[in-house]
């Protein structure tokens, strides 16, 4: 039975560059309309763990990633369609600059017909902000830009100069004053995790609602025009994957040290039939009964001392590894798997020792980018984002394949039941390969 087109108000928040205030404004809008009794569904463009945590708290709804390369066109279309079924408003926050990346925020907005609003930090410029916004709005004919949000606007005169310089087709949607009370807290890989500062975030969200309402323009506080959302050829919510993991229990590390977990990944495992149980390497003394283990990324370097001193958990994971059962360790999870980890202050702590080698933080220098994990189980798309290095590790089983560069990407290690890499995997990109990883086989139907 064919599904009907659904219409839902939607706006895509983009910018000329990073650090313009997109997340702050997206969170403020989500909270404003939520307080009006609206169901607001927020999406984040590209791979990101921290912004979605903030936006989920602001909207009181789950937040999902949209990335055509990582997830696929059909998957993105389906997630938007499913959200439109229940939402009064869809907000999409872009990544980096409007036209940066392949695919870019503009590519995504054009593909799904979502109008864009440009967020710009206008401190230190006036008419030039109008010129930049006009250039962005007219750079591509397939992108619709509905207006400019002038962030960190100094005064009404400042706003007037920008407003008067904009063409009639590009209105000033909002002029937002400089206000440190609404700025979201950050650390070396981006925003602080929401659960660490949940009470503080609530205060900032409420301040941000007042901040929006103080704007001299009201275009931002009016629901945008409805957008037509079409069903995908495959309904990801209704058509379950082959349940290769039926009857299997997967234990997932989840606490302040390990929290880089896409909801989409958990949903993928559940669609494959798996039962998910969580545990804390920081606080728990034992593992739950499980057939496989997942150590996701996070901030183990901030909790290295506690992780090292929890010897009961270290012994439990070492014993699990010794059984040969499947274990996936991503980025921070891989650092935890190594013999030692040196934190940002230069302190060195013993870790699990199930993968030979040492890890060390390296300040502001790091690695990031989209890559495909090439493993015997199949290709799984994902990304790298870390500011650490590893040394004296074993020979890799393979390397990540970079999206746009021929050089080998991140090393991928497999020994016994362990698969470890700096790569963060996006499970929906290849469900069969994901199932094989958690079954401990090279391919479905084959023993590892």
Tell whether 206 and 351 lie within a shared domain: no
Consecutive 10-residue runs of the chain (448 residues): their mean pLDDT?
A: 85 96 94 97 88 92 92 93 97 96 94 97 96 98 97 92 96 87 57 60 87 82 95 61 90 96 94 97 97 96 96 98 97 97 94 96 71 94 88 94 86 95 95 95 65
> What total number of domains does the chain contain?
2
Which CA distances in Å does 279 have to 93, 96, 110, 294, 437? 31, 34, 41, 10, 20
- Could you tell me whether strands 258-260 and 297-298 are parallel, antiparallel, or unpaired per DSSP bridges? antiparallel
> Does 92 share its domain with 184?
yes
CATH code: domain of residue 86 = 3.40.50.300
Residue 164 belongs to some domain of the structure: yes
262 and 169 assigned to the same domain:
no
Same domain, 177 and 49: yes
What is the predicted pLDDT for the residue at 238? 43
177 with 257, same domain: the answer is no
| pTM of the complete model | 0.88
Asked if residue 282 and residue 344 are part of one domain, the reply reads yes
- Does 213 lie in the same domain as 315? no
Cis bond leading into 396, ω under 30°? no
What is residue 257's three-state secondary structure?
A: coil
- Of 229, 259, 286, the last residue of a domain is 229
CATH of the domain at 321: 3.40.50.880
pLDDT of residue 193: 55
Helix axes 431-439, 263-271, angle to 10 degrees: 80
Tell me if 235 is assigned to some domain.
Answer: no
Question: What is the residue range of 367's domain?
Answer: 249-439
Q: What is the per-residue pLDDT for 203? A: 87
Instruction: Give yes or no: residues 273 and 404 share one domain.
Output: yes
Q: What is the pLDDT of residue 234?
A: 62
- Please report whether residue 234 resides in a domain: no
Residue positions annotated with a catalytic role: 331
Say whether both 203 and 294 belong to one domain.
no
Rg (CA), the chain: 23
My answer on whether 255 and 128 are in the same domain is no
CB atoms within 10 A of CB 334: 31
Question: Is 14 in the same domain as 133?
Answer: yes
Same domain assignment for residues 220 and 253: no
């Amino acid at each position: 039975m064919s599904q009907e087109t659904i219409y839902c108000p939607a706006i895509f928040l983009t910018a000329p560059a990073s650090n313009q205030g997109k997340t702050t404004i997206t969170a403020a809008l989500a909270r404003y309309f939520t307080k009006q009794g609206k169901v607001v569904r927020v999406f984040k463009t590209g791979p990101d763990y921290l912004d979605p945590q903030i936006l989920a708290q602001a909207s009181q709804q789950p937040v999902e990633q949209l990335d055509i390369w990582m997830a696929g066109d059909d998957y993105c279309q389906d997630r938007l369609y499913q959200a439109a079924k229940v939402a009064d408003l869809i907000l999409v926050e872009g990544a980096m600059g409007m036209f940066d990346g392949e695919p870019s925020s503009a590519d995504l907005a054009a593909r799904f017909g979502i109008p864009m609003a440009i967020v710009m930090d206008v401190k230190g410029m006036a008419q030039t902000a109008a010129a930049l916004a006009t250039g962005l709005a007219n750079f591509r004919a397939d992108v619709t830009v509905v207006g400019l949000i002038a962030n960190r606007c100094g005064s009404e005169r400042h706003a007037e100069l920008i407003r008067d310089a904009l063409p009639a087709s590009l209105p000033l949607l909002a002029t937002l004053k400089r206000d440190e009370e609404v700025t979201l807290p950050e650390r070396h890989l981006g925003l602080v995790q929401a659960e660490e500062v949940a009470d503080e975030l609530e205060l900032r969200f409420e301040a941000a609602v007042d901040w929006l309402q103080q704007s001299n323009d009201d275009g931002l506080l009016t629901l945008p025009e409805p957008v037509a959302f079409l069903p995908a050829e495959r309904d990801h919510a209704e058509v379950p994957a082959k349940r290769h993991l039926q009857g299997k229990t997967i234990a997932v590390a989840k606490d302040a040290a390990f929290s880089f977990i896409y909801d989409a990944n958990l949903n993928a495992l559940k669609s494959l039939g798996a039962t998910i149980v969580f545990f804390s390497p920081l606080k728990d003394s034992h593992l739950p009964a499980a057939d496989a283990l997942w150590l996701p990324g996070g901030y183990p370097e901030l909790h290295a001392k506690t992780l090292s001193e929890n010897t009961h958990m270290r012994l439990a994971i070492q014993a699990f590894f010794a059984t040969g059962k499947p274990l996936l360790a991503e980025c921070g999870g891989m650092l935890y798997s190594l013999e030692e980890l040196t934190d940002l202050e230069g302190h060195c702590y013993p870790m699990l020792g199930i993968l030979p080698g040492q890890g060390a933080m390296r300040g502001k220098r790091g690695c990031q980018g989209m890559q495909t994990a090439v493993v015997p189980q199949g290709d799984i798309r994902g990304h790298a984002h870390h500011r650490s290095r590893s040394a004296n590790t074993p020979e890799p089983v393979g390397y990540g394949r970079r999206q746009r560069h021929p050089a080998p990407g991140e090393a991928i290690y497999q020994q016994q039941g362990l698969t470890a890499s700096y790569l963060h995997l996006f499970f929906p990109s290849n469900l069969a390969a994901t199932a094989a990883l958690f079954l401990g086989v090279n391919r479905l139907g084959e023993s590892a």
